[in-house]
């Protein structure tokens, strides 16, 4: 399916592969009627606004293939005991400014938000996950490889409101660089207004350990080949969001090609 204008996307239980290709700003509404997997390939768009009511388990992978700057504002409300699995593949060489809000608005509703980024220009993500009801679970996972000229800025907020007992909010962010001079800023924030909860964040920004490189090079790999393999290891897990094997294979090949191109620069 190809989207060029405002649209309502119904999640009816069958896997959908959607391409967004438009010159202007569009509004998308997502309507969940059954457990569904959804793949979006963004070829072109000025601005994308998404509004979604999630009532069933739902996995959505956005794959940014745009050659131009893109802005998105996304709002998701999980309004039943369902799992929302939201993933962003940002491995294109164009700027992105992304604002994503997820509200866990029902007991036992869960959200996992993952990003995989190969950064060679400016990428900025503002992510807010709110545990608004008891026994909800939110997780954020950011994996980024920052290349020459890349600037990454992530503001990741996990918010547990008063009364959302036995809720969990966890974050992991890892940014990898191979040379000096790249910039990555990750601000993990946990705003907790309830006692009976679990929350954590883990973060690392930096170069590959020298011992890892020595081990890999002692088997004959050059520094570039090490860079490629480690980068692929950082980014590839995002393709697991969707179970469709053909799609996984396509995305893996695309990632390998992009990493090869960018790492050779």
Partner 1 sequence: MKKLEIKNLYVSVEDKQILKGIDLEVNEGEIHALMGPNGNGKSTLLAAIMGDPSYHVDQGSIVYDGQDILSLPVNERSKAGIFLGMQYPQEISGVTNSDFLRAAINVRREKPISLFEFIKTMEKTINDLQMSEDLAHRFVNEGFSGGEKKRNEIVQLEMLKPSLAMLDEIDSGLDVDAIKLVADAIRKIQQETNMAIIIVSHYERFLELIKPTFTHVLINGKIVLSGDETLYDRIDKEGYDWVYKELNLAKEEEETPAVTRVSLGNCAVAETMKGQN
Output the smallest distance, CB 216 to partner 1, in A. Answer: 7
- Residue number, 23 or 209, with CB nearest to partner 1: 209
Query: CB of 225: closest distance to partner 1 in angstroms?
Result: 6
10 Å Cβ neighbour count for 157? 18
Query: What is the nearest approach in angstroms of partner 1 to the Cβ of residue 219?
Result: 4
Residue 10's contacts (CB-CB under 8 Å, 6 or more residues apart) are 31, 33
What is the SS3 assignment for 173-201?
EEEEECCCCCEEEEEEEEEECCCCCEEEE
Nearer to partner 1, 8 or 229 (CB): 229
- Give the nearest distance from C-beta 185 to partner 1 in angstroms: 23
User: Residue 185: which region, alpha, beta or left (left: phi > 0; alpha: psi -120 to 50)?
Assistant: beta
Nearer to partner 1, 116 or 129 (CB): 116
Question: Which CB atom, from 73 or from 172, has the smaller least distance to partner 1?
Answer: 172
SS3 153: strand
d(CA 65, CA 43): 5
Q: In what order do the strands lie in the sheet with 36-44?
A: 2-3, 16-21, 36-44, 58-64, 83-90, 110-119, 137-146, 168-177, 198-207
Provide the minimum distance between the beta carbon of 242 and partner 1 in the complex, in angstroms, as a whole number. 19
| Sequence-separated (6 or more) residues with CB below 8 Å from residue 95 | 69, 70, 121, 122, 123
Residue 28 or 226 having the CB closest to partner 1: 226
Report in angstroms how near the CB of residue 70 gets to partner 1 at its nearest: 27
Cβ-based nearer residue to partner 1, 24 or 224: 224
Residue among 13 and 237 whose Cβ is closer to partner 1 = 237
- Residue 36 half-sphere exposure, CB side, CA atoms within 13 Å? 20
CB of 256 to partner 1, least distance (A): 10
Minimum distance of partner 1 from residue 86's CB (angstroms): 21
Distance CA(157)–CA(12), nearest Å, equals 31
Nearer to partner 1, 13 or 233 (CB): 233
Contact 8, 32 (CB under 8 A): no
**Site for partner 1, rule CB under 8 A:** 209-212, 214-223, 225, 229-230, 232-234, 236-237
């Amino acid at each position: 399916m190809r989207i060029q204008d405002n649209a309502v996307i119904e999640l009816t239980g069958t896997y959908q592969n959607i391409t967004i290709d438009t010159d202007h700003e569009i509004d998308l509404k997502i309507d969940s009627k059954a457990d569904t997997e959804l793949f979006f390939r963004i070829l072109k768009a000025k601005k994308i606004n998404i509004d979604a009511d999630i009532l069933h388990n739902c996995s959505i992978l956005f794959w940014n293939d745009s050659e131009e700057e893109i802005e998105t504002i996304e709002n998701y409300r999980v309004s039943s005991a369902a799992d929302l699995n939201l993933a962003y593949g940002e491995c294109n060489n164009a700027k992105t400014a992304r604002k994503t809000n997820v509200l866990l608005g029902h007991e036992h509703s869960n959200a996992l938000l993952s990003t995989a980024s190969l950064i060679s220009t400016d990428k900025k993500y503002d992510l807010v996950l709110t545990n608004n009801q008891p026994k909800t679970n939110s997780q954020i996972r950011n994996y980024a490889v920052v290349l020459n000229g890349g600037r990454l800025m992530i503001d990741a907020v996990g918010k547990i409101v008063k009364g959302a007992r036995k809720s969990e909010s966890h974050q992991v962010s890892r940014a990898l660089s191979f040379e000096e001079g790249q910039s990555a800023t990750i601000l993990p924030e946990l705003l907790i207004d309830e006692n009976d909860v679990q929350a954590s964040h883990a973060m690392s920004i930096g170069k590959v350990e020298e011992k890892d490189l020595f081990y890999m090079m002692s088997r004959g790999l050059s520094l570039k080949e090490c860079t490629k393999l480690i980068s692929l290891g950082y980014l590839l897990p995002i393709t697991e969001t969707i179970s469709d094997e053909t799609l996984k294979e396509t995305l893996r090949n695309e990632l390998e090609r992009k990493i090869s191109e960018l790492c050779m620069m």
